[in-house]
Amino acid sequence: MTTMITVQDKADRLTTVVENVRAIGPTLRERALANERAGRHSDETIADLDAAGAFNIASPAEYGGDELSVRQQLEVITEVAKWDGSCGWTTWVAASTNWIPAGMGPVVVKEVYADKWVGPRVAGSSHFPASKGRAKRVDGGWIISGGPWTFGSDALWAPYTNLGCILEEDGQKYLIGVQVPRDQLRFLDDWKVAGMKATGSVSLMLTEDELFVPEHRGIDFRDVTGRKLDSGLAGPLWKVPTLGWAFSLMSGMAVGIAEGALERFLDRSEGRPIRGTTYKNQLEAPLTHLMLAEVHSKIQAAKLIARANAEETDRLGALAAAGTPANPDYMQKFSARVLIETAYAAKWCAEAIELLQRNSGSTAIMESEPIQRAWRDARVITLHGALNLEALAENYGRLMAGMQPHNFAGITTLDRFSPVAKQAALSDNHVH
C-alpha cells in the first residue's frame, strides 16, 4: 500500500487531473443530452472520468488514492462541472462522501478501497430522520429492512452504498449507517426530474425483504460524524470537518456550472444581433456589458467563498491531525457558516446563469443548448435538502447573536459541535 504522498506529489497530481478533465470536457458536454435522456451517465462517461482521475482525488493514500486536499479537490470539481453539471454532481458526491466509510473503521475502509474499481467508490442515501430504512440488532450483526432509500446519487456505479436506517432501542431512536454491497440493492427507475438528470440519483430497495448485514458494516451514525472510530488512515484529510469538506465542494460545483455557462454565452453571442435594437453584435452592446459585469461579480463572490471555506477546512483538519483541534464553539460556527455561505453561493451562481439564459434568445431553450441545461442544473443545487437558505440563515444568525441554533436532526445537525455544557441544555428527544 502507498502511504506517503508529498505536497509536490499532490500538486503534480492536481495539475494532471485538471488537464485530463479539460481534455475530455468537450466530449462530456457532447454526451450530456443523450445522458440526460437516459437518466444516467453512459458507461463511457463513467470510464472517462475514472481514467482522468476524477474519482480518485479523495481516496486514501494507503490504498493508492491521490488524497488531495479539500482545496485541491475543489479545483477538480469546478472543472468537471464546467463541462456538464451532472458530471460535476457525480464527481462531487464521489469525493465528498469518502468520510462515511472512513468513519466506519478499518475493515470497512479496506472493503471499499482495496479492490480495483472503475467509478465512484461509495454512495450514501437517506441519512436523515425521515429514512424509511429500519435496523435491528441480531447476533453477529444487523437485520435491515424497509425503504425505499431516496436520492441515491452515485449508487448506480459504486461498489457500496451507505443506507440510513432507524434503530429503535430502549425507547429511543438512533440513525444507523449501514454499508451495503451493490449486488444486494435494487435500483428503481424513478429519477424523473427537472435538472441533474444524468446523475441517476434513483431510489434504492433491497434485493430481499430483510437483509443480514455483518456487525462491522453498521455503525451508529453519531459515531461516524463524531469520528469515534480509528479509520487506520493517517492523512489530515480524514480529520477535516465533514460539512466543510462536502459543502465547500458543493459551492465549487455551482461555480463550475456558472463558469461553463458564461463561456458558452460568450462563444455563441459573437456576431449575434439583439432583437428590438440596432445592435448587430451582442458583445458590442452596453446592455450586454452591464449584464456580464453582474454575472462576473456573482460568480466571483461564490468562488471566493468556496475557496475560503475549502482552505479553512484543510486548516482545521491539519490542527486536528496534530492533536490540537479547534474548540467546539468555533467548529459549530464554522459548520453553520459553511452551510449558509454555500446556500448563497449556489443562489448567486443560479442567478448569474438566469441572466445569461434571459439574454441568450429563444434558441437557448433548445435541449441541445448547454446554457438551458446549466440553468436547470444550477437551480437543482439550490433545492438540495441541506440548502434551505432561510433556515440556514436563521441558525447562523442565532449563533452570531450568542444563541444556540435550532436543535434539529440529520446529517447537517450543528449541536454535535456545541460544548458539553450547552448540549446538556438541549433536548435529547430526537433522532441523532
In the predicted structure, residue 99 carries a pLDDT above the cut 80: yes
**For the chain, the helix, strand and coil percentages under 3-state DSSP, each to the nearest 5:** 55, 10, 35
Contact partners, residue 78, CB within 8 Å, separation at least 6: 88, 252, 253, 255, 256, 259, 306
- pLDDT bin (cut points 50, 70, 90) of residue 418 is low
What was the pLDDT predicted at 236? Answer: 96
What was the pLDDT predicted at 227? Answer: 87
Dihedral, CA of residue 358, residue 361, residue 364 and residue 366, to nearest 10: 130
pLDDT tens digits, 346-400: 999 999 999 999 999 999 999 999 999 999 999 999 999 899 999 999 999 999 9
Cα 161 to Cα 175: distance, rounded to the nearest angstrom: 15
What was the pLDDT predicted at 233? Answer: 96
First CA to last CA across the chain, in angstroms?
36
Q: What angle do CA 85, 354, 352 make, to 5 degrees?
A: 80
- pLDDT bin (cut points 50, 70, 90) of residue 277 is very high
- pLDDT bin (cut points 50, 70, 90) of residue 297 is very high
In the predicted structure, residue 420 carries a pLDDT above the cut 50: no
In the predicted structure, residue 427 carries a pLDDT above the cut 90: no
Across the range 42-46, mean pLDDT stands at 98
What was the pLDDT predicted at 8? Answer: 93
What was the pLDDT predicted at 429? Answer: 40
Per-chain mean pLDDT for the chain: 93
In the predicted structure, residue 119 carries a pLDDT above the cut 60: yes
Q: What phi and psi, each to the nearest 5 degrees, are found at residue 167?
A: -105, 125
Of 31-35, 51-55, 127-131, 231-235, the one with minimum mean pLDDT is 127-131
Across the range 320-345, mean pLDDT stands at 96
pLDDT tens digits, 17-30: 999 999 999 999 99
What was the pLDDT predicted at 222? Answer: 87
Q: How many CA atoms lie within 13 A of 54 on its CB side?
A: 34
What was the pLDDT predicted at 416? Answer: 63
Q: Which helix (H) or strand (E) holds 52?
A: helix 43-52
Query: H helices of 66-147, where?
Result: 70-83, 85-96, 99-102, 106-113
pLDDT > 70 in the chain, percent: 95
Cα 174 to Cα 164: distance, rounded to the nearest angstrom: 10
What was the pLDDT predicted at 391? Answer: 94
Across the range 61-68, mean pLDDT stands at 97
CB count within 10 Å of CB 276 equals 6
pLDDT tens digits, 252-268: 999 999 999 999 999 99
Across the range 193-202, mean pLDDT stands at 98
Strand-pair partners of 149: 204
DSSP at 405 = P
- pLDDT bin (cut points 50, 70, 90) of residue 426 is very low
Cα 8 to Cα 24: distance, rounded to the nearest angstrom: 25
Q: Mean pLDDT highest for which of 84-88, 401-405, 406-410?
A: 84-88
- pLDDT bin (cut points 50, 70, 90) of residue 422 is very low
What is the β-pairing status of strands 172-181 and 160-169? antiparallel
More confident residue, 432 or 389: 389
What was the pLDDT predicted at 279? Answer: 95
